[in-house]
Amino acid sequence: MPLSAIKARQTEDGNALLRGLAAYGSAELVVRVTRILTVIVIARRLSPELMGAAALALSLFELVRVLANAGIGQRIIAAPEALLAATCNSAHRLFWIWCPMITVLQLALAALLSATQPAAAAMLALLSLVYLTMPAGLVQVFLLMREGRLTTTARIGATQTLADHLLTLVLVLAWPDPASIAFAIVLPKLLTTPIWLAAVRRARPWVRDAAAGFVPAAGFVRFGAGVLATEIAGAARAQIDKLIISALLGVKALGIWYFAFNAGLGITTSFVSAFGTVLFPWLCKAIDREARALRYRRGLLIGLAVFLPMTLAQVLLAPIYVPLLFGSQWTDAAPLVALLGLAALPMVASAATTAWLRADGATSLDAAISTTATIAALAALALAAPHGLSMAAAAYVAGLALILVPATIAVFTRSTAGTRLSSPLPSVITNKENFA
């Protein structure tokens, strides 16, 4: 292929990634503005104690919800064209088995919680109904991602989240009782699920092709085990910190930490997640492993170029915008917002590396890195928490960086050298027998 054609293809590849990032970024911007307004209203209506109670329920919900991402959908994205229909059939069947199991698990957790936290238990039980609507639209979502229709998926996700926040605002303002405001925070997550379901089914019609049959579940299990372990580690990293703060410093400290986490790292976390969401199907579209490795390296550098100035601005301006936007009662939380915001940089590097390792079939290695980072961050947090929230935040970020940065450098270096990383799994892109 002529050099000019190669350069043109590389430029188009980079532009495709940037278009995906722009789609998700603009959608997230709208969502974040609405979320900030929601947090402003909630922060002015709730005390740190009540904020902490709501945080407990939401943290448990997020921990359980991560189980829904068991790597089933990623198999649709990575499936060879000849096996796509059969893979979708199998994925659809597995979704309808897996999601109801998650519902039962969350109901059981709510029952255990009811003895000590009846309100949180009621919210958790209510939110378990979300999983019963998901299987009817999950195949469609991953087909949209496989086809590169990221603008559509971004718009659907933003629409649902926007409706969630707006409904939260309405309920918070409508319910004068502070105790009821906690339900106003979680109830919209259930009420807006039909919006998502109707939108994805309309955007990508799909019906099961009975003639195509099924692919064996063993391929889903082998690939999904690593993906699920990584997702669980990420959820633990994002949620167990709140449980540690609550146990060591009390509910009031948890309320301050929860606010700082959402006003700082929470603002960039969704952007980082969107980056990984866009990058994975972009890597899967590469013609071979060498091209995929090149895309990974370019994607990582683009991600850092985008997130570095965003993170620095958020960190440096925290003392100004926190009291201005959220009220003077949260002024003392500004240093926490700044410290936690620094975690976005190792996280964006990790998101790129996760996408590469999954595309290369090394999901077990990805799980090992993510689990080690989670243990390091939470252990550092637990050790530093008795010395105050600022020390806890600094230790949490340091624990993440200590693992994720060297791991990303190692994976980046080996991808540059063209070395296949050790993994019990073959590449999900190049080996059709991985589906057999």
Report d(CA 274, CA 183) in Å as an integer: 27
Instruction: Report helix angle 150-174 to 3-45, nearest 10.
Output: 10
Look up residue 243 and give its two tokens: 């449980």
DSSP 91-122: HHHHHHHHHHHHHHHHHHHHHHHTTT-HHHHH
Residue 121: what residue type?
A
Place of tokens 């948890």: 254
Q: Alpha carbon of 347 to those of 18, 274, 353: distances in Å?
A: 19, 12, 10
Look up residue 96 and give its two tokens: 């309808």
Query: Contact, 255 vs 52, CB < 8 A?
Result: yes
Look up residue 256 and give its two tokens: 């301050």
Query: Contact, 152 vs 203, CB < 8 A?
Result: yes
Place of tokens 């949260």: 330
What is the per-residue pLDDT for 380?
96
What is the per-residue pLDDT for 237?
83
What is the per-residue pLDDT for 103?
93
pLDDT in single tens digits along all 436 residues of the chain:
444 444 445 555 556 676 766 666 666 666 666 666 666 666 666 666 666 666 666 777 777 877 777 778 888 988 888 899 999 999 999 999 999 999 999 999 889 988 887 777 888 888 889 999 999 999 999 999 888 887 888 889 888 888 988 888 888 778 767 666 667 777 888 899 999 999 999 999 999 998 988 888 877 777 777 888 888 888 788 778 888 998 898 878 888 888 888 777 776 777 787 788 888 888 887 777 888 888 888 888 888 888 888 888 888 988 888 888 777 878 888 888 889 889 888 999 889 989 888 888 788 898 899 999 999 999 999 999 999 999 999 999 999 999 999 999 998 888 776 555 544 333 443 333 333 3
Report d(CA 114, CA 94) in Å as an integer: 31
HSE (side-chain half, CA atoms, 13 Å) at 396: 32
Place of tokens 């949620």: 239
HSE (side-chain half, CA atoms, 13 Å) at 395: 19
Place of tokens 């890597």: 283
Look up residue 11 and give its two tokens: 């430029």
What is the per-residue pLDDT for 420?
55
What is the per-residue pLDDT for 216?
85
- Rg of the chain, C-alpha, whole Å: 21
Residue 316 CB contacts under 8 Å (≥ 6 apart), including other chains: 338
Give pTM, 2 decimals. Answer: 0.70
Place of tokens 């379901």: 197
Query: Contact, 31 vs 162, CB < 8 A?
Result: yes
**Region of residue 418 (left: phi > 0; alpha: psi -120 to 50; beta: else):** left
Residue 364 CB contacts under 8 Å (≥ 6 apart), including other chains: 225, 226, 229, 423, 424, 425
Report d(CA 436, CA 424) in Å as an integer: 16
The closest alpha carbon to 119, from 55, 171, 168, 67, belongs to 55
**Region of residue 175 (left: phi > 0; alpha: psi -120 to 50; beta: else):** beta
The closest alpha carbon to 427, from 227, 299, 297, 284, belongs to 284
Report d(CA 429, CA 427) in Å as an integer: 5
Task: Give the SS3 label for residue 381.
Answer: helix
Report d(CA 429, CA 286) in Å as an integer: 9
First to last CA, the chain: 34
Report d(CA 431, CA 49) in Å as an integer: 53
The closest alpha carbon to 435, from 224, 222, 219, 226, belongs to 219
